[in-house]
Chains A and B, each alone.
Chain A
Amino acid sequence: MDAYTLPIVFVGLMGLAILVYAILDGYDLGVGILLPLGDQHSDERDRMIASIGPFWDANETWLVLAVGLLLIAFPLAHSEILHHFYLPVAVMLIALILRGVAFDFRAKAAIAHQSLWDRCFKFGSLLTALSQGYMLGLYIVGFSYDIKSQLFAVLSATGVCAAYSYIGAAWLLYKTQGQLQQQARRWARLAGRFCLAGVLLVSLTNPLVNQDVFQRWFDFPEALYMLPVPLLCFALFAYNEKLLRNKTVLADSHCWRPLLSCALIFLLCFSGIAYSFFPYIVPGKLDIWQAASAPESLRFILYGAVVVVPCILLYTVYAYWVFRGKASDLKYY
């Protein structure tokens, strides 16, 4: 493979890692954000946390892979982007730390400290989602720092929170039963509306602040090929709302559907953003060929990735299969 195709392959891999991360860690961050809504006086919160117990660690690894691929394949973009994101990244990392360890500490700490670790878990999840959304917003406006951009970034932050809560609630609906599952249905409907508002807002603002993006989405006939993306996305929102309105969604035969449509919504939103900026990796500044590492380095890691990534996907599926079914009987030892 040559210096032209390698960066394309790697940006594809990185996109895959980001997307898988957003879906997988999205639902477990979402569960963290929803935690305060869980009934404090029953075992509801324990069950919420148990539902993500065996998965969160591997989910977070996709973030390491995504930033790792950025670093491996596009070192120049890596320094450029992280330079702009210095403070939000620090906030996100500290939030991730608190959240990750709270998970273990809460199960092992003295009863007196458990509520403290619960708080770390909630705020850690919320802060992680907010900082990721904020960074997404800043990225879209091309790292501009005026009031309008900041406002947009803040909106994007809440949008990402809503999106994570949406998929988190869908996850709970899939993995739990009884009272908690019914609650999750309500949470999913609520979060879905916020998420839809967020998606609409970002989709409208993005072409307005960005001339290139505007052309991409409104130039004919290319724009026609991309038209199904927003249409499908909104159709999925509507489909989900219809599902969630009806109690039959709680049945085992249906409970996975909202989760799947949420994941598809993530996929479509992500491809929309990717289409807006490709082939730029730092919007308006660096494209993937300018930012790429040497071909011999990319080739070396590609050989490994071709063998290993399918294995990772396989054993990830295996792990989900092992822990299939409702989460209430999950025991920690």
Chain B
Amino acid sequence: MDALDLSRIQFALNISFHILFPSITIALCWILFYFKLRFNLSGQQVWMRAYRFWVKIFALSFALGVVSGITMSFQFGTNWPGFMETVGNIAGPLLGYEVLTAFFLEATFLGIMLFGFNRVPNAVHTLATLIVAVGTTLSAFWILALNSWMQTPAGHEIRDGVVYAKDWMEIIFNPSFPYRFTHMLIASGLTASFFVAGISAYRLLKGDKKHAPRLALKTAVMAAAILTPLQIYVGDAHGLNSFEHQPAKIAAVEAVWHTEQGAPLLLFALPNEKEKRNDYAVSVPKMASLILTHDSNGTILGLNEFEGLHPPVMATFWSFRIMVGVGLLMLALSWIGALLILRKRHFPRWLLKAYVAATFSGWLATLAGWYVSEVGRQPWLVTGILKTKDAVTTVPSAHIALSLTAYALVYVVLLAAYLHTLRLMARRAVDVEEYEQQDISPQPASGSRLQAPGSKHALAHASNKNQTKLMNTAKTELN
């Protein structure tokens, strides 16, 4: 294999591994902030227990995201020098703003979020959680601005083969950015929701009688039930946007070989790139045209219009179907759960098992979605400006093969360790006793304004100092 193929595989490997973790942490931090807010408002310790369990998982996922992200920041230079040489004037500042406005914010306040509970006032700890959540979201903002610009460039001019910035607002808010950014944020919301639901369900199945995992499960299921239909709506809008700006991608997604009016929606097919047709096709007549043009006889440009300049069809076609398929499963699972919650019924065991099975469904959908986006952009690295093959390094391919092997090994080990550790943490949490009575009941020295255990406003009235003291007790008992 040559440097191009190896570099592409390496980049795909790195970014696929990396995105697993931000797709959890972006939204998980907002969930943590929600737990913390609920605790502040109600004073119920159970919210803090949910927070403490999930903040550990957050920290682990975040660390994996950070280290694999550092790798990403070097890849541009080591493997894709042509990228920075051609569009560095655009990509550089956007990446720079990500580091400046997001990375430091997250990394610094994460320390306070994790270790600072006893050292700062409760309000500052809550604020630190909020700041980390804002940081992760800002990070997504900048990186998606760059990615979207690569898909649908705008606001620039080209002089002597080098791209120069003309209008930064147009560059950041390029045509596909609002759709891709929203789509990714909701994707993270769904990934984190199913992640939280799955691990909580696992704890319940293992005989965890505590209140915290049930509460987390409910929160996650309700969030997923709201987010899934929203995601379907946004995803559709995103597709229409691609149809307008990246027709070759859509032609590959729908496997339309020749420009067609009233194109069918393929439910199943094996796109045959050699013969330029679809084998074993199962389709709904006129549906693709209806979805994309809102007219059953609308025209869809076929791959024949982009000879030599369209993405590989099989990968794009199937990634899209996997994404949509997982999305529909998510819809079913979350709505069943939400209905049960609204009717105040218990979750049956089979549903809990289904949630456990769907713990990482978000990963599958997110990866598949990104493959549609990134494979669907080929052969372009920056649409219409720079081809992937023109950006690659001249480093000997043996070196790339070596680094690729090393990364692959490390990532396999890390992923195994991550999954193993998650399981271990869930199991340990099952065994930990909960001291309901002690950690809410007033202690002799800690003031008389605390009310009866479990009272809704018990801690809300207590001074910060008392609150911290109580939480210390709870903490030592939990650890």
Question: Interface residues, chain A, CB within 8 Å of chain B?
Answer: 53-55, 57-58, 60-61, 63-65, 67-73, 75-76, 78-79, 81-83, 85-87, 89-90, 93-94, 96-98, 100-101, 103-105, 108-110, 293-294, 296-297, 300-301, 304-305, 308-309, 312, 315-316, 319, 322-323, 330-333
Contacts and interface: CB of A to CB of B under 8 A. Distances in A.
Interface residues of B, number: 70
A188 B109 CA distance: 30
A301 B77 CA distance: 19
B101 to A, nearest CB: 6
A98 B63 CA distance: 11
A61 B104 contact: yes
A53 B101 CA distance: 22
A297 B111 contact: no
Given A101-B414, A323-B116, A332-B115, 12 more contacts: A53-B114, A83-B395, A85-B78, A86-B403, A108-B421, A109-B424, A301-B92, A301-B93, A304-B101, A309-B100, A330-B115, A333-B55
A104 B109 contact: no
A64 B73 contact: yes
Contact of B101 (A54, A69, A83, A308): A308
Given A293-B89, A331-B475, A305 B395 contact: no
A309 B78 CA distance: 27
Interface in B92-150: 92-93, 95-97, 99-101, 103-105, 107-112, 114-120
B393 A58 contact: no
Nearest to A297: B89
A332 B478 CA distance: 12
A293 B399 contact: no
A259 to B, nearest CB: 19
B93 A300 contact: yes
B69 to A, nearest CB: 8
A72 B96 contact: yes
Given A72-B92, A87-B402, A323-B116, A79 B77 contact: yes
Contacts of B120: 322
A279 to B, nearest CB: 20
A142 B78 CA distance: 18
Contact of A61 (B88, B95, B103, B164): B103
Contacts of B46: none
A86 B404 CA distance: 12
Contacts, number: 210
8 contacts: A58-B107, A67-B74, A70-B77, A87-B403, A97-B414, A108-B421, A296-B164, A300-B168
Nearest to B407: A94
A300 B395 CA distance: 32
Contacts of A76: 85
Interface in B224-240: none
B99 A315 contact: no
Contacts of B78: 82-83, 85-86, 89-90
A94 B67 CA distance: 9
Which of B55, B93, B424 is packed against the most chain A CB atoms within 10 Å? B93
A93 B74 contact: yes
Contact of A71 (B68, B88, B118, B417): B88
Contacts of A94: 406-407, 410
A100 B99 contact: no
B115 A57 contact: no
A106 to B, nearest CB: 10
B364 interface: no
A315 to B, nearest CB: 5
Contact of B99 (A68, A101, A296): A68
B385 to A, nearest CB: 15
Interface string B376-420: 000000000000000001110001101100110010001001000
B115 A54 contact: yes
Nearest to B393: A83
Given A108-B56, A316-B104, A293 B92 contact: yes
Given A331-B475, A332-B115, A58 B399 contact: no
Nearest to B17: A97
A79 B84 contact: yes
A54 B110 CA distance: 8
B19 interface: no
Contacts of A109: 417, 421, 424
A267 B423 CA distance: 46
Interface in B144-180: 162, 164-165, 168
**Of B92, B118, B402, which is in contact with the most chain A CB atoms at under 10 Å from its CB?**
B92
Nearest to B88: A75
- Among A60, A97, A105, A332, max chain B CB count under 10 A is at A97
Nearest to B86: A75
Contacts of B417: 101, 105, 109
B76 interface: yes
B52 interface: yes
Contacts of A331: 115, 118, 475, 479
Shortest 10 CB-CB contacts between residues of A and residues of B: A79-B81, A54-B111, A82-B77, A75-B88, A72-B92, A58-B107, A90-B403, A100-B67, A75-B84, A297-B89
B89 A294 contact: yes
Contact of A104 (B60, B73, B162): B60
A65 B92 CA distance: 11
A82 B107 contact: no
B301 interface: no
Contact of B95 (A57, A68, A104): A68
B96 A53 contact: no
B70 A87 contact: no
Contact of A79 (B85, B101, B162, B407): B85
Contacts of A332: 114-115
B418 to A, nearest CB: 8
A226 B253 CA distance: 64
A57 B63 CA distance: 8
B131 to A, nearest CB: 9
A78 B84 contact: yes
B64 interface: yes
B425 interface: yes
Contacts of B88: 71-72, 75, 78, 293, 297
Contacts of A68: 73, 95-96, 99
A55 B70 contact: no
Query: Residue among B52, B55, B95, B111 with the most chain A CB within 10 A?
Result: B111
A304 B475 CA distance: 41
Nearest to A58: B107
A308 B108 CA distance: 14
Contacts of B55: 333
Nearest to B113: A54
A300 to B, nearest CB: 5
A97 B162 CA distance: 34
B74 A101 contact: no
